[in-house]
Amino acid sequence: MEAYCVKCKAKKEMKEPTAVTMKNGKPATSGTCSHCGTKMFKIGASK
């Protein structure tokens, strides 16, 4: 899954994507950047 990396300032592949639920009940995906290792977060259901 691709997500925006704030450190790389580009869309990168997310390593170890995990489906999470935010406090308001909406789905999201959390993982790490495959290039630099920074935490990534993408709102919306994971595929």
Strands 2-5 and 10-21, by their bridges, are antiparallel
The predicted model gives 30-37 an average pLDDT of 96
pLDDT of residue 46: 73
Computed on alpha carbons and rounded to an integer, the radius of gyration of the chain in Å comes to: 10
The helix, strand and coil proportions of the chain, stated in percent and rounded to the nearest 5, come to: 0, 60, 40
Q: Flag whether pLDDT at 32 surpasses 80.
A: yes
Which domain range does residue 27 map to? 2-43
- pLDDT greater at residue 47 or residue 25: 25
What confidence tier does 8 reach under pLDDT thresholds 50, 70, 90?
very high
What pLDDT score was predicted for residue 27?
96
pTM of the complete model beyond 0.85? no
- In whole angstroms, give the CA distance from residue 27 to residue 45: 5
Q: How many domains is the chain built from?
A: 1
